Structure formats: C-alpha cells, structure tokens
Amino acid sequence: MNLAQSNGAADAPLLTRRDGAVFHLTLNRPETRNPLGGEMVERLEDALGQAEADPAVRVVAIGAAGPAFSAGGNLGNVADRIAARPDADGQDPVALGNRRYGRFLERFAGCSKITVVLAQGAAMGGGAGLVCAADIAAGLRGARFGFPEVSIGLVPAQILPFVAARIGVQAARRMMLTGERIDADAARAIGLLDYVFDAGQDWEEGVAGMLRRCVDAAPRAAGQTKRMLRGLFGQQRWHEEELGAYLDSASRCFASQLRSEAIEGIAAAKARRRPDWDAAPSVS
C-alpha cells in the first residue's frame, strides 16, 4: 500500500508530498498565480534535492494550487530589483536572480528520476518553460500557454533552450516573438504537452494512469534511457560545456532589458494600454 507523506506547513510557498514512489511538489501561491520568484525557486531547488536523494522516489511531479499553474516570473517588485546595487564582485543582482531559475531548470531537466509537470491551468513565461523542461507534461484542456516576455520588453532568457528543445526552434520563434497564447490541444499538437485531459474524473484518472506507468518503469533503466537520450546529437556536450555560458549571457540580457524597455512595457501592462517603445529608457 502506498502511504502519502507530507512535509511543511499548509501555507508554505511549495508543498511537498511523497505518495509511494511519486514525490509531488505543489506550487502554493494561488492568490498571485504561483509566480516563480526567488523564494519559490529556492524551495523548488531544496525539494528536488530531497527527491533526488531518496532511493524510494522514482518520479518527481510538479503541480500547482489554484486556477493557474504559474504566471512565470514575479514582476511585482521591479522597482526594488532595478534599484539593487551590484554585489561585492560587481555582479548584477537582477542577472543573478534570473540565472538562478536557469540553474534549477538545468538540474530539473537532468534529474535521474522521471520528471512530470501537471499544468491544471494557465502556464505563461517561466511557468511554460517549466512545463517544457519536464520529461513528460500533462495539461488540463482549459489551460493556456504562452511566452509574453517580448510584449513587456523582456526576453525569455533562462527558458528559451528548454522550450526550443521541446517544441523546436521555429515553434519557439513564433510563440516567443508574437506572444501568442495557445490552448492545451494546440500545445499538444506542437509537442509542448504530451497528454491533455478534461477536468474532473478524466484528469484524475488520466494523471493517475500516467504516473503509474512512470512508476512501473525500472528505475535504473529509466535513468540510463534518459542519459542515452541526452547523449544524442551532441546534446551532452551542449549541456555540459555550452548551456551554462549561454544562460549566463542570457541573464545579463534579461537584466539589461529589465532596466530599459521593460520599464515602459510593465507600466503599460499595469495601465492596460499599448506600450510606447519610443518612450522607453535606453540601456545605460
């Protein structure tokens, strides 16, 4: 019999629960659409480490509380982030914060366990990037997915390689440059999702069956298969030698954009008006 074991307070940003061989992580800030800010990323890193260290865990599944899976990065404290001064090494704190999420995605994508994301609602920006970084992704039919960064003057810095790896460069180009939102069926059609279930019993039974099939896989064989897949087409070299430097550079680009066009883009979004890009501050 599988016994569910829960850790942490019910109001914690991230809830964790082991149910047999499945380690569940639940984003738990539904009132703000589960943003992937610094605290949430820190909790995700810690929980993933716990799952990786537990030999009884075969599957790591990330879901969310509330109607949305995740709205992506936290833009509620932009002024404070822009005002933050460089650290003792002269590194930009905005870039460092952005890069931390990329390190988590690297670790999540390279996890030896089977990784699953369960998107029961909208996943935007970094939230959609998290979906793309999983081995297997399931979505509720009413969920929507998109990458709105350029519409507010930002760039999809840390998620871009993981999105392109899942849906292909051209689909990533189209979605990221247009900011198009797509529904779950369209997401499945381009490979962003592997499964789409209707709400209610179909979702519960579909997810349970999918997780059961993952658990039934021999753990060493599954881990070896993941390593073999990662060794195809030069991916191993890319992940080990090039991806880190790419994401470092992307984090600096993100910081530059947050201090320039995004000031106008975020202000326009809050005011529900079209941005005036000519009025945006230039990069200092």
Each residue's pLDDT tens digit, 103-153? 999 999 999 999 999 999 999 999 999 999 999 999 999 999 999 999 999
Token pair for 272: 């529900």
Label residues 223-244 b or e (16+ Cβ within 10 Å = b).
beebeeeeeeeeeeeebeeebe
The average pLDDT across 40-57 equals: 98
The structure's pTM equals: 0.94
Beta bridge pairs of residue 124? 146
Q: What is the pLDDT of residue 84?
A: 81
d(CA 183, CA 190): 11
Q: Which domains does the chain have, with CATH numbers?
A: 14-199+218-271 (3.90.226.10)
* pLDDT over 90 percentage in the chain: 88
Q: What is the pLDDT of residue 74?
A: 80
Q: What is the pLDDT of residue 3?
A: 46
Q: What is the pLDDT of residue 2?
A: 45
End-to-end CA distance of the chain: 61
Q: What is the pLDDT of residue 75?
A: 78
Q: What is the pLDDT of residue 4?
A: 56
Q: In whole numbers, what is the pLDDT of the chain averaged over residues?
A: 94
Each residue's pLDDT tens digit, 211-264? 999 999 999 999 999 999 999 999 999 999 999 999 999 999 999 999 999 999
Instruction: Please provide the DSSP assignment of the chain as one string.
Output: ---EEEES-TTSSEEEEEETTEEEEEE--GGGT----HHHHHHHHHHHHHHHH-TT--EEEEEESSS-SB--S--TTHHHHHHPPP-TT---HHHHHHHHHHHHHHHHHT-SSEEEEEE-S-EETHHHHHHHHSSEEEEETT-EEE--GGGGT---TTTHHHHHHHH-HHHHHHHHHH--EEEHHHHHHTTS-SEEE-TTHHHHHHHHHHHHHHHHS-HHHHHHHHHHHHTGGGHHHIIIIIHHHHHHHHHHHHHHHHTTHHHHHHHHHHHTS---GGGSPPP-
Block residue for tokens 């942490």: 8
Q: What is the pLDDT of residue 10?
A: 86
Each residue's pLDDT tens digit, 154-207? 999 999 999 999 999 999 999 999 999 999 999 999 999 999 999 999 999 999
pLDDT of 283 strictly over 80: no
